[in-house]
Chains A and B, each alone.
Chain A
Amino acid sequence: MIIVGENINTSRRSIAEAVEKRDAEFICKTARDQAEAGAHYIDVNAGTFLNQEVDCLCWLVETVQNEVALPLCLDSPNPKALAEAIKRHKGEPMINSISLEEDRFQSLLPVITSQPCHVVALCMAQTSMPTTIEERVQVGSELIKRLTNTGIPLEKIYVDPLVQPVSVGTRMGIATLGAIYKIMKDFPGVNTICGLSNISFGLPERRLINRNFLTLCISYGLSAAILDPTDKQLMATLLAVEMLLGQDEYCEDFIGAYRNGRITGG
């Protein structure tokens, strides 16, 4: 499971304040904590800064990569911000995200083909959000075709099937799960990725719901997740499920995380 640490996002108040004050120390600690907890990518998102997003995102890229030797997940729907951030990034970043919305697709194309990178392909159609499994698979397949046609290898594409709250539609959970399963089956080698917290919008005990949703996603084939790796209960769930699905030889990762105190059962 590829883990993208989600904690550096200016929609969180403490991060917004740190970015505002250019408090590198706080940002570095947040990055380091996630790296030590097992993140493979560190997500950086400065979306709430609107007009200053480009500057803020670039500052985050440089600050975080000074601290941890990991690639970043450059997180913005804004092609301009991504174009500037990717120039400052060392190594191969993950670009989050492109979609089938035509403007967004066309303006991001030069960015993602400018240098080697991994790309999150969000299952958002030209004019609407998909609701069913079939709509998601259709949009995802189209994105995979268009991206591979531009020369991006299948294994660098991360299809995000889009997670919508189960509180507003009883079948929203199964729609995501079904799409993960079908896309992984139809395109061997491709990745699927999603965030977890949308699933529990409008409901109590959200962390419990998110954890259980992660379990289901992994068992339906999800290969990457955007989450808080410092959440020890969530990471315990992730590692236990991988182990139970036969993806952890000699249970090494699970035992290692237990020994290091990175997971907790309760």
Chain B
Amino acid sequence: MSDFKALTEAVIKGDVKMAVAETQSALDAGSNVQDIIDKGLIATMDEVGERFSKGLIFVPQMLRSAKTMQGCMKLLEPLFQEGNVTSKGKVLIGTVKGDLHDIGKNLVSMMMEGAGFTITDLGVGVPPEKFVQKAQEVEPDIVAMSALLSTTMPAMSQTIEALQEAGIRDKVKVMIGGAPVTDKYAHEIKADSYASDAGSAVSKAKKLLGIS
């Protein structure tokens, strides 16, 4: 990480200009894209997520760091070549049917992206059949669902059943979260994991996929 000290600092601070400039100078100095992403950006976002989960930083600071990373990725993406950049895994995410809340889901998406996952975001009010259809299409490692209303929580269970019926439940890990959702509820509906905030969503996702 010491190679990318200035980049790390810029991402933690959320200084897009400086972070993009540091990314450019790393490229100019001959660093490879994967290294910049893994050792510069992702490692930093792991740190950011951890600080957030511990209450050391707050939502706006986490958002700012995530946006800064996105700025850097824009510079790097044109340089991706087939096979030279690896994803930590594919995540299909959405807020369940009947529920239009997107803030929590967006925070989780952003932090997952920051951790190196590839995200397919289905948006809000996603019916079970849509989750299934998209899961068949993109073959994600994780299906992540959000619900902010106690009345829409059952749609999580329905989605899991729909995945089951489609014969793909055992091909994906299911994560759930949202204000009224609990660890106990995750057990009840046989989800694989529950996460209480965006920072812990990343560590739970890694745990599910056996990534350190």
Q: For window 83-102 of chain B, which residues contact chain A by CB distance below 8 Å?
A: 98, 100-102
Give Cα A74–Cα B151 distance, bound, in whole angstroms: 15
Q: Are A165 and B100 in contact (CB under 8 A)?
A: no
Contact present for B103 and A164 (CB under 8 Å): yes
Q: A251 contacts the other chain (Cβ, under 8 Å)? A: no
At the interface, yes or no: A135 with Cβ under 8 Å from chain B? no
Please tell me the size bucket of the interface on A.
20 to 34
Give the docked Cα–Cα distance between A50 and B181 (Å): 11
Flag the segment in B31-39, B43-51, B57-65 that touches A. B57-65
Q: Mark A24-67, 1 if CB is under 8 A from B, else 0.
A: 00000000000000000000000111100100000000000000
Tell me, yes or no, whether B125 is within 8 Å of chain A by CB: yes
Assess A168 versus B59: contact at CB under 8 Å? Given A101-B100, A127-B125, A129-B100: yes
Q: Which residues of B contact A164 (CB under 8 A)?
A: 103
A128 interfacial contact with B, CB 8 Å:
yes
Give every chain A residue within 8 A of B125 (Cβ-Cβ).
Answer: 127
B136 within 8 A of A: no
- Cβ of A246 within 8 Å of any chain B Cβ, yes or no, is no
CB-based contact B101/A50 at 8 Å = no
| A215 at the binding interface (Cβ < 8 Å) | no
- A residues 116-144 near B (Cβ < 8 Å) are 124-125, 127-129
Is B107 a contact partner of A168 (Cβ separation < 8 A)? yes
The answer for the CA separation of A50 and B151 in the assembled complex, in Å, is 7
| B residues 141-159 in Cβ contact with A at 8 Å | 149-151, 153-154
Are A202 and B58 also in contact (CB < 8 A) when A47-B150, A77-B149 are? Answer: yes
For the complex, is A266 an interface residue (Cβ under 8 Å from B)? Answer: no
Is A244 an interface residue, CB under 8 A from the partner?
no
Interface centre among B100, B150, B154 (most CB of A within 10 A): B150
Contact of A124 with B59 at beta-carbon distance under 8 Å, contacts A50-B150, A77-B149, A168-B107 already known: no
Find the A residue at minimum CB distance from B60. A167
Taking A53-B150, A127-B100, A128-B100 as contacts, is the C-beta distance between A47 and B180 under 8 angstroms? yes
Give Cα A202 to B102, complex, Å.
15
Q: In the assembled complex, how far is the CB of residue B61 from the closest CB belonging to chain A, in whole angstroms? A: 9
Q: Which residues of A contact B151 (CB under 8 A)?
A: 47, 76-78
- Mask of B100-115 contacts with A, CB within 8 angstroms, 1/0: 1111001100000000
Are the CB atoms of B58 and A204 closer together than 8 Å?
yes
Cα A124 to Cα B149 in complex, Å, equals: 13
Interface centre among A103, A125, A127 (most CB of B within 10 A): A127
Q: Is B19 an interface residue (CB 8 A)?
A: no
B106 to chain A: closest residue by CB: A168
| A-B pairs with beta carbons under 8 Å apart, 20 shown | A11-B179, A47-B151, A48-B150, A50-B150, A77-B151, A101-B98, A125-B100, A127-B100, A129-B100, A129-B102, A129-B124, A164-B103, A167-B63, A168-B59, A168-B106, A201-B59, A201-B103, A202-B60, A203-B60, A204-B58
